[in-house]
Amino acid sequence: MNELVDDKIIRVDLDLGFRVQPRINMIFKRIVQELAECRELDFSSKYESLKRHDFDADIRYVILERFLSVENELNFQDEWLLDTYFLVKRFALSDQTAFGLDHTDTVVEQVPLLIGDPKRLPLRRMGASMTAPED
């Protein structure tokens, strides 16, 4: 467990075996319960009205989904291989379903996959001069 932002963002890495059905939602609730019992973190609401009615803090799962950026400059073989990978990935189970997460508690963020640095393009300014206008 790594606390990235005090009492706000926590990173938990789970190493599950191949034959273990990943019930992440259930496992994570157990982790939260243990952290609360050990008083390592306080997950109760900071609002008095919610504390009176025993409302727990909201938990949001963020899934980072990669997509191939158009800024990549790949040779034909690499581009074909990655296009095939992403095509097969469309037919596979989504991460939400595979991990057993509820769709209402999950946010999927798209992250561009950059492989190598793109070639530097030579740019040249044309037209207006670079002097500042007089007041």
Model confidence, pTM: 0.60
pLDDT higher than threshold 60 for residue 46:
yes
Strand ranges (DSSP E) for 16-105?
A: 61-68
113: three-class secondary structure by DSSP: strand
Q: Which of the 8 DSSP states describes residue 104?
A: G
pLDDT at 133: 57
pLDDT band at 88; cut points 50, 70, 90: very high
Q: How confident is the model at residue 60 (pLDDT cuts 50, 70, 90)?
A: confident
